[in-house]
Chains A and B, each alone.
Chain A
């Protein structure tokens, strides 16, 4: 009997899945059970292409789930939009889950039949930069890598020869590598906004590397886990107090690293210089629209406020497109970094949007994508 609030350690009962899937294959087994037992029609997973590339697929084939990539730090995609209009189960980083919740607020996702298995996330990295990092910092041929993991602040890579090499994330980031900027200052590391919050933080002793810590966040989480247990796909045991404490400790360390990055990135722009700041930031924009297209919280479609009042023929010093988006995202930006990733002229869009949204979100104590709570009217700052 599973209950909301349970904290358990679990793994797949299938030895193949247990060995292949990350951390004992619990998430893979839950997804496979959800599909096979008809809890959902489809599952969103990452299809493995190589160690630095995977592509999201929506599948009803359990074989695709079993062959899926699991968690990959070098695949910084956001899965939220793949859940739109479907009855799916999906694993996701906190920002994937936040995207789905924002979509649900805008009636694009039916949250009642969308099952969200959150995965702890210390951050993701760019695939091309990671290859470069492996050569320059690890002295490892990127083609030799068979797996990676973040443990105790170190980024560890395993190679074909069985060798493991870890370097501290601080050192890597000092050298210009490591996590994406938005991940560095992200303030949600354990996906408590999901139905199940899973990860390897708090898995200790002989189960290290072979099981997953899982917290049941709500009734849907209960259904997901019970479904998998009833189907005989997973086994669980209660997490020990020590495991719970360690998980919390790791989370706190990660959050405090995030806070430091936040202070470093979001330095105050003096009064009177803000307009200039925004104009300069957007000056190289080529109007590709990729930032809007990829945004996991945007549900407007082609005819939206930001595009309808924007023409290439306009002569404004700063385009209406960006001005409208700044306003629009002030109550919904989840800081996932996708807009920065795809910007062809490297505008640090996520930082710009977060900078704009942060002040009002903090004043209202509102964090987008965490619950279904309607956002306050952030366009007007509180007195």
Chain B
């Protein structure tokens, strides 16, 4: 077989970095830099550089029926039988944006036939569209960061540094000092006036299934009040694309609400499209227990992941890089894959036809996508509205002698990918107080048990511990723990 070269975008976050995936005659994958990509000029972050591991053959999904390998026809046929019997009021569909617009559109068709909607994991209270292009970051006079760009969205670091060279002042709102920020302020929403924003300012925040919705609302209100532009970064390659087929009138739930509904028995059948609630939820164990309560779980996915282990049916699609299709990135730019794989759309068409809906083709879905993009452009002004309800932010109370273990989300964490991140961040006072030794370990305890971890010292506030990887002692994005030397 000749070497295959695919032009695609990185699945690590919503920036949409262009790259090439090369597949040699032996099936070995490597990446190549696409310097003509206006989004990233060929540059890639740590996650992008490790894509050959993410896309490795052993991580590809395989068609399954009740945990046994099956051919795709059998998997689809069995899924049709399940969906025919499913009650629409207790059936949910989830896709957070890890696949093409065309598959997303096809998934919406399936949802409509099932008399339901596709949930995207983000509450409709704060659905929004890109307001600023990434290039505008470089022109802003004042930038306020509600994210850690180094860890979460590394490809905007260069734009922030350019802004700084152009004279911008950069303020980080948060707990971890950032090298590129002029100052780091640990502010509560009531103190946001201190940020001194105006129409030439830019706020950069992010929105994902585990975002604090109250905080997001407060950030939106801050932007509306001051006239500052806002750029909500998104965590998945096609997060914004999921909004194309969302009807503004439909109620969208946050992922946590969806999982709660499964726990309560309100949702009995779940269909997921390239979205793994176990990886997405902060607490793997709790998510697994919730999913076990489902009557039926159908997974349509290109990747093998924890949810494919639990699924009744797995319908495997080709890896994202080889799919035909488009994506909408964080600035609303339409990006296209060079791949030709249409297995996902074809499978969704068969499912839809099987349960009484219409069959469709990839080209039809592509047409609808392009039409939806046009319609979205026309309705741009209404999309970013979001009313603040109150100023309270849900931060846990940390008692004396306890610590707050917080997740520092990054692409590796969203996909539970292996990285050199087997340590936690804590401050020097904590190290002294606990008598920790350089190169040693700290013992972390929660209701979930104990965990021995290495640590790195950072200038964090007292009582805060950060982790860039999901830990079994954590029960949420923020968990109260105790720590001791071991």
Contact = CB atoms under 8 A, between A and B. Distances in A.
A344 B158 contact: yes
A323 interface: no
Given A126-B41, A283-B179, A313 B423 contact: yes
Contact of A284 (B20, B35, B161, B455): B161
Contacts of B37: 128
A289 interface: yes
Nearest to A286: B154
Secondary structure of the A side of the interface?
loop
A197 to B, nearest CB: 26
Contacts of A290: 33, 43-44, 49
Contact of B157 (A53, A293, A342, A344): A344
B252 interface: no
A314 B454 CA distance: 10
Interface residues of B, number: 36
B154 A346 contact: no
Contacts of B38: 128
B188 interface: no
Q: Report, as a range, how many residues of chain A touch the other chain.
A: 35 or more
Nearest to A312: B420
B7 to A, nearest CB: 8
Contacts of A56: 32
A218 to B, nearest CB: 30
Interface string B447-484: 00000001111000000000000000000000000000
B395 interface: no
A52 B38 CA distance: 11
Contact of A344 (B44, B180, B456, B457): B44
Nearest to A130: B36
A127 B35 contact: yes
A288 B47 CA distance: 7
Given A128-B38, A313-B422, A341-B33, A284 B179 contact: yes
Given A342-B33, A342-B43, A289 B49 contact: yes
A312 B422 CA distance: 9
Contacts of A58: 3
Nearest to A51: B36
Interface string A40-53: 00000001011011
A311 interface: yes
Interface in A311-353: 311-315, 341-346
Interface in A1-55: 47, 49-50, 52-53, 55
A52 B37 CA distance: 10
A311 B5 contact: no
A287 B161 CA distance: 17
Contacts of B74: none
Interface in A242-296: 283-284, 286-290, 293-294
A57 B20 CA distance: 12
Given A126-B41, A342-B42, A344-B45, A286 B150 contact: yes
B5 A288 contact: no
A296 B158 CA distance: 24
Nearest to B37: A128
Given A284-B161, A313-B423, A313-B456, A128 B45 contact: no
11 contacts: A55-B32, A76-B35, A127-B35, A284-B179, A288-B44, A288-B45, A288-B46, A341-B43, A342-B42, A344-B157, A345-B157
Nearest 7 pairs of A and B residues by beta carbon? A127-B36, A53-B36, A313-B423, A344-B43, A288-B46, A346-B158, A345-B157
Given A288-B45, A341-B33, 8 more contacts: A47-B5, A74-B36, A126-B35, A284-B157, A289-B46, A313-B455, A342-B42, A346-B158
Interface of B: 3, 5, 20, 32-38, 40-46, 48-49, 150, 154-155, 157-158, 161-162, 179-180, 420-423, 454-457
